[in-house]
Amino acid sequence: MVKSRKQVSLILCLALTTTIFTGCGKKGSDTSDSNSSADYDHIFREEEFELSEEVNSESLYSMTGYGDYVVSYGSAYNETDDTSNYVIIRFKNDGSDVKQIEINGMPESGEGSVYISDVKCDAEGNVYVLKDEYSYSEDSDGYDIYYLDKYDTDGELEYEAVVSENGANESFSGIFYMEGKGILAYGDGIVSLFSDSDGSFVNKFDTGLDYFQEVIPKDDKLYIYYWEEEGYKFKEFSLTDGKMGGDVSFPGSMSNYISCYPGTVTDLLLLASTGIYTYNFGDSDVTYSCSYIDSDINPDNVSGAVQVSDTEYIILVMNEENTEYEFKKIVKVPAEEAKSQEVITLGCYWMDYNIRSAIIDFNKTNPKYRISVKDYSMYDTDTDYSAGVTKLNTDIVGGNVPDIIIASTEMPMESYISKGLFMDLDPIIEADSEFVMDDYLTNVIDSFRRDGKLYSLVPGFSVYTVAAATSDLGGKTSWTINDMKQIADSKGIAYKDLFGPGYARDSVMTMAIYLNASSYIDWDKHECKFDSEEFKEFLAFLKEFPSEIDNSVYSLDYSDYWRKDKALAELMYMSSFSEYQTSLRGTFGEDVTLIGLPTDGASGSAIIPNNELCISASTSKEEGCWEFIKSLFTEDFQKKVAEYSGFPVKKSVFEDLADEAMKPSTWVNEDGEEETYTQTTYIGGKDIEVTPLTQEERDYVVGFIESLSAHVVYDEEILNIVTEEAAAYFNDQKTVDDVVSIIQSRISIYVNENS
């Protein structure tokens, strides 16, 4: 079944409107209570560390330790037989006694595959491997056999023991060495114990759980980490009597951490996106040990860590230049020594790769200042996903404002600005001869002015708009709801299908409110007009859309509806010129106009900031804050924005990006030669060529972007008020006049309280 590209595009756009500043995926952050005070207690530096023998570290997944030994494993490509094998590297934490073990990625039969599920070591340096061998033949179905392999201290295979036979209906995902007890293998709710001396079966326990996320052994107990409806939990399981105990408390949320390992010094070693944490069961809180950014380590490159002592780690890091992995030793910097630089605090509720890299570069090169990050997302819990942003807002309102803030969708920016919490950046820019405003897209920068003043800057952006076939618009470059309806009526398109099938009322309303709420509010005058005829018309238009979407829609391929006059307009999220190209060549197959959503007087299109940065009005480090923010507008950083995260604001880089859209796509073949190719998109069961833009098309879309003067306003309170009150109109419980009167009253109070 085919899911239309239109639906995927919508899902992406909706995700961006709610998470573009709030982040995604695993996370974790500083647990210190104060974010405006300097923090010198989590800084580590790299010390010289080399393994005594050369190893193949091209691709390693993770690392763990036991006693004085460290073991890591990953894949290794074998050019001789063109297969992907496995490599295991074991060494002492001083870099000595290195052994490298290679395991064939194919079973002896040659039919199937071998998968290494887990690798552990013991205090003597023996290595234990959990291996899943999948085999098949022409005469039988495929089957899995799990093996426990032991390699001795010289790296030689000592035994290969079967731990789950074909047909046993058991699978294992991990192992642990338990001194004096054997090798513990776990998976699918089952815990089995095997002898470490010969791999023979010792005991088996059924925990009654369906699945483990992780198992942490300690003494005669297991701490089993698993998911229940209300969130992640730890339970205690006794290996003595095979009985499950009660819940084990854990501070915060385990989902805030990327990896959880048994510690060599503490019970748990926790890796988060911002640093390394440790924990002992029974403690009231986790211990924040190492900050990656404060230690000039790019967290995106860290794949594992082993704690050598309270002040020393060995980490597994990818080298950005050759993408191979390296083992590095980091040691804690004494606080008194770390105080040689002034610390600038940066508060956020998410941080993208480019900003993290910029902070690390800044910290390495600036002799006077250092950025210390506090990502509030670590305060989120499995029962309160907004706890972090609530604390961020509480700190800001309470005067505990970080020196630099990266805005979040859940931050009432207009309120904070009206309260004088952020600095006007105009005087700083005017005093800096190196920052020339004309070098940038001033329409993008000026769109973030409030009351004529510039309280924030955005180094990169995307655009939200609506595209329609130029031939349908009769020369219009903007339209009203009535205009849209008249065109739809003339083409026989149902209003609910204007943007294609699959659009529920709440989805359209969310996008429209984020995009157009500012056109109904004058924050400077403390006024709003949600009781206008225009807004009534907007609610009536929304009522045409279904409250829910039949899931069968998602199995349709409606990619050619725009070409067949079954849909009129395309909701478009543009982070590059390719979205316009695809709409032009694929969706419509003819000239399109980026006309925006229907409005009276407003553009209907808006700028979406990829990052919006502010400086606290109370900071004592204005110079350092500006030095960092200014670094995001250099040509080098702007090129990174263009490559990874949207449109750059520097004109020269933006123009270069537009010029590239007029050139054929290229790739480098196996001989190292550059070749051109034509991109394609799937429309109505056919691959349609997406050829480069012409000069005229390139100039049109550049002119459109440079004409934008408004940015998306993420104000959850306004959206919530409209959503709550409009429901009564949509359900025929109140008239539209009654509803807009209540909305006008509630938002007027909100605007006055927060202006």
User: One-letter amino acid identity for 637?
Assistant: F
- The phi and psi torsions of 310 (rounded to 5 degrees) equal -65, -20
- Report the C-alpha gap between 167 and 180 in whole angstroms: 31
- Report the C-alpha gap between 197 and 180 in whole angstroms: 11
What per-residue string of b and e applies to 125-147 under the rule 16 or more CB within 10 Å gives b?
bbbbbbbbbebeeeeeeeebbbb
Please state the separation of Cα 681 from the chain's center in Å: 26
**Strand 449-450 relative to strand 453-454: parallel, antiparallel, unpaired?**
antiparallel
pLDDT tens for 455-479 read 999 999 999 999 999 999 999 999 9
Question: If you average pLDDT over residues 165-185, what whole number do you get?
Answer: 86
Residue 676: CB atoms within 10 Å: 10
Q: What is the CA radius of gyration of the chain?
A: 29
User: One-letter amino acid identity for 17?
Assistant: T
Residue 472 has a pLDDT of 96
Residues 705, 711 contacting (CB under 8 angstroms): no
Both structure tokens of 426? 């105009």
- Report the C-alpha gap between 150 and 130 in whole angstroms: 9
In 606-695, DSSP assigns E strands to 606-609, 613-615, 647-648, 665-668, 674-677, 679-683, 686-690
Number of residues that this document lists for the chain: 755
pLDDT tens for 145-164 read 899 999 999 999 999 999 88
- Report the C-alpha gap between 479 and 605 in whole angstroms: 12
What's the order of all strands across the beta sheet hosting 83-92?
Answer: 59-66, 69-78, 83-92, 99-103
pLDDT tens for 565-620 read 999 999 999 999 999 999 999 999 999 999 998 876 667 899 999 999 999 999 99
Residue 377 has a pLDDT of 83
- Report the C-alpha gap between 715 and 753 in whole angstroms: 14
Both structure tokens of 8? 């995927």
The helix/strand/coil state of 46 is strand
- Complete DSSP assignment for 363-383: HHH-SSEEEEEEEGGGG--SS
Residue 23 has a pLDDT of 33
Residue 110 has a pLDDT of 67
Residues 260, 266 contacting (CB under 8 angstroms): no
| pLDDT at position 105 over 90 | no
Residues 370, 342 contacting (CB under 8 angstroms): yes
Both structure tokens of 33? 């209570």
| pLDDT at position 15 over 60 | no
Cα–Cα separations (whole angstroms), residue 556 to 501, 551, 553, 683, 685: 9, 10, 5, 12, 11
The helix/strand/coil state of 133 is strand
The pLDDT confidence band at residue 167, using thresholds 50, 70 and 90, is low
Residue 340 has a pLDDT of 77
- Report the C-alpha gap between 539 and 113 in whole angstroms: 58
Stretch (H or E) spanning 206? strand 201-206
pLDDT tens for 506-515 read 888 888 888 7
- Complete DSSP assignment for 384-398: -TTHHHHHHHHHHHT
Both structure tokens of 721? 């008020």
- Of the candidates 514, 516, 509, 513, which has an alpha carbon nearest to the alpha carbon of residue 547? 509
Give the helix ranges, DSSP H, for 381-504.
387-397, 413-418, 426-431, 442-446, 470-473, 481-491
Please state the separation of Cα 85 from the chain's center in Å: 30
Apex 365 CA angle, 359 and 369, nearest 5: 70
- Report the C-alpha gap between 240 and 221 in whole angstroms: 8
More confident residue, 81 or 548: 548
Question: Which range has the top average pLDDT, 119-133, 361-375, 588-602, 657-671?
Answer: 119-133
Question: If you average pLDDT over residues 233-240, what whole number do you get?
Answer: 89
Give the helix ranges, DSSP H, for 276-379.
335-338, 353-365
- Report the C-alpha gap between 245 and 235 in whole angstroms: 6
| Block residue for tokens 């923010």 | 629
Question: If you average pLDDT over residues 229-238, what whole number do you get?
Answer: 82
- The phi and psi torsions of 597 (rounded to 5 degrees) equal -70, 155
Stretch (H or E) spanning 703? helix 695-707
The pLDDT confidence band at residue 681, using thresholds 50, 70 and 90, is very high
More confident residue, 698 or 548: 698
Residue 259 has a pLDDT of 87
- Report the C-alpha gap between 36 and 8 in whole angstroms: 41
Apex 233 CA angle, 232 and 236, nearest 5: 155
Give the whole-number percent of the chain exceeding pLDDT 70: 92
The pLDDT confidence band at residue 398, using thresholds 50, 70 and 90, is confident
Cα separation of the two ends of the chain: 51
Question: If you average pLDDT over residues 349-374, what whole number do you get?
Answer: 90
- Report the C-alpha gap between 90 and 72 in whole angstroms: 6
- Report the C-alpha gap between 52 and 63 in whole angstroms: 18
Q: Which neighbouring-strand residues pair with 76?
A: 85
| pLDDT at position 47 over 90 | yes
Residue 683 has a pLDDT of 93
3-state SS of 1-17 is CCCCHHHHHHHHHHHHH
- Of the candidates 712, 715, 709, which has an alpha carbon nearest to the alpha carbon of residue 445? 709
- Report the C-alpha gap between 188 and 182 in whole angstroms: 20
The pLDDT confidence band at residue 703, using thresholds 50, 70 and 90, is very high
Q: What is the mean pLDDT of the chain?
A: 87
- Of the candidates 594, 552, 543, which has an alpha carbon nearest to the alpha carbon of residue 697? 594
3-state SS of 301-340 is HEEEEEEEECCEEEEEEECCCCCCEEEEEEEECCHHHHCC
Maximum Cα–Cα distance across the chain: 83
pLDDT tens for 198-215 read 999 999 998 888 878 788
Residue 19 has a pLDDT of 33
pLDDT tens for 263-292 read 899 999 999 988 999 999 999 999 999 999
Residue 112 has a pLDDT of 81
- Complete DSSP assignment for 538-580: HHHHHTTS-SS--GGGGG---TTTTTTTS--EEEEEESSHHHH
More confident residue, 323 or 125: 125
- Report the C-alpha gap between 450 and 420 in whole angstroms: 12
Query: What is the CB-side half-sphere exposure of residue 277 using CA atoms within 13 A?
Result: 28
**Strand 404-406 relative to strand 342-348: parallel, antiparallel, unpaired?**
parallel
The pLDDT confidence band at residue 704, using thresholds 50, 70 and 90, is very high
- Of the candidates 585, 647, 491, which has an alpha carbon nearest to the alpha carbon of residue 5? 585
